[in-house]
Chain A
Amino acid sequence: MTELDVRERVLAANESAARTLRERFRAAGTLVVNLISSPGSGKTTLLEATIALLSARLKLGAIDGDIATERDADRLRRLGIPAHQVLTGGACHLDARQVQGAMDRGALDDAEILFIENVGNLICPTSYDLGEDFKIVLLSTAEGDDKPFKYPAIFARAAVCVITKTDLLPYVSFDLGAVARQVATLNPAALLLRVSARTGVGMDEWCALLEDALARKRAEG
């Protein structure tokens, strides 16, 4: 018997790819946000509304992860931004090598803000660093106000929590205060935003957050 002490991170290959990506994004001055939520919480719809407000003054780009179909990337391309669809073929998250593959195609090199729309899932994407500046978790009012404590890892690690579909508040049982308390418990530094991509309420604050983060990244060089 030979015992080898190796001490390697199991996800070292992903972590190394994420470091390479982070350096690439830093050199290019690209702000990268990793959007994570359950399916149907409105990631693509939020991005469509964001493109409508920001694409006249900023170059935007997107990488969309899904098990199947090009639907999400098609929706964003229709609004005139470069978007690459990663088909995971069953895998429940994006990893850094898939993001590298998408970037190596070249169409996203000029983006000033790159949106990575992860596979709809509140669990697995949490553990994979994609070289992003920060993670954003979306929670729609129709999903219920108990999700932060039920899926604590992502709410503890996301710098920003966006409550989506606030136009549905009159019709659903959703206690915003309860969500705010759960998020503050899991991550006292997290920012909580409320938006309705449909009515536009909260969109200015959301866009300002992205533009401020981009300005800070540029100032840091």
Chain B
Amino acid sequence: MHELGLATEIHRRARVHVEANAPARLARVVVAVGELSAVEPDLLRFAWQAVTEGSADDGAVLEIDWCVARQQCMSCGETPARATGAWLPLCPRCGEPLRVEGGTELDLVRVILTIDEHVEMSP
């Protein structure tokens, strides 16, 4: 998918929280990424690096919480694990369509800030 646009949006959203807690520095963001969200974690990390490099948030870490989809066969009751990257919702045992839930997450979950208590506020 469009990882650079997503990284930009994650950064923009994180900045809102940094500024609301000023003076603070962005240490880490945690995003939930579902396996069916069509987001490639490595590309997202690379894009995050590109977006934050040279900015006030240079060095802030992007942590990806990978969320797998849950699936169940409505025909035989089997709950097979989803093969990595597999999209085809068919039961490996009986070939019937599986019911798939979750795996589409794309959420900014946590923003971790370093708040410098010693900064002198100007009068």
Interface residues, chain A, CB within 8 Å of chain B? Answer: 1-13, 91-93, 123-124, 126-127, 149, 152-153, 156, 185-186, 188
Contact of A93 among B2, B17, B37, B87 (CB under 8 A): B2
Contact of A4 among B97, B106, B111 (CB under 8 A): B111
Question: Contact at A91–B5, with CB atoms within 8 Å?
Answer: yes
Q: Does B75 belong to the interface (CB within 8 Å)?
A: no
Q: Which residues of A contact B90 (CB under 8 A)?
A: 185
The residues in B between 30 and 50 inclusive whose CB is less than 8 angstroms from any CB of A are 31, 36-38
Question: Contact at B21–A127, with CB atoms within 8 Å?
Answer: no
CA distance A94 to B110 in the complex (A): 28
Give the size of the chain B interface in residues (CB under 8 angstroms). Answer: 30
Given contacts A6-B111, A185-B90, contact A11 B106 (CB under 8 A): yes
Please give me the residue from chain A that is nearest to B90 by CB atom.
A185
Contact of B38 among A2, A8, A12, A127 (CB under 8 A): A127
Q: Which residues of B contact A12 (CB under 8 A)?
A: 13
Q: Does B51 belong to the interface (CB within 8 Å)?
A: no
Q: Which residues of B contact A4 (CB under 8 A)?
A: 17, 21, 110-113
CA distance A188 to B37 in the complex (A): 20
Interface residues, chain B, CB within 8 Å of chain A? Answer: 1-2, 5-6, 9-10, 13, 17, 21, 24, 27, 31, 36-38, 87-90, 97, 106-115
Question: Contact at B9–A11, with CB atoms within 8 Å?
Answer: yes
For residue A72, give the distance in angstroms from its CB to the closest CB of chain B.
Answer: 21
Please give me the residue from chain A that is nearest to B36 by CB atom.
A153
Contact of B13 among A10, A91, A92, A186 (CB under 8 A): A10
Please give me the residue from chain B that is nearest to A9 by CB atom.
B107
CA distance A185 to B87 in the complex (A): 10
Contact of A2 among B37, B107, B113 (CB under 8 A): B113
27 contacts between A and B (CB under 8 A): A2-B21, A2-B113, A2-B115, A3-B112, A4-B110, A5-B110, A6-B13, A6-B111, A8-B108, A9-B108, A10-B10, A10-B13, A10-B31, A10-B106, A11-B6, A12-B13, A13-B9, A93-B2, A124-B2, A126-B1, A127-B1, A127-B37, A149-B87, A149-B88, A152-B87, A185-B97, A188-B97
CA distance A87 to B107 in the complex (A): 28
Question: Contact at A156–B87, with CB atoms within 8 Å?
Answer: yes
Question: Contact at A5–B97, with CB atoms within 8 Å?
Answer: no
CA distance A124 to B87 in the complex (A): 16
Apart from A4-B21, A4-B112, A9-B108, what 4 extra A-B contacts exist at CB < 8 Å? A2-B24, A123-B1, A127-B38, A185-B90
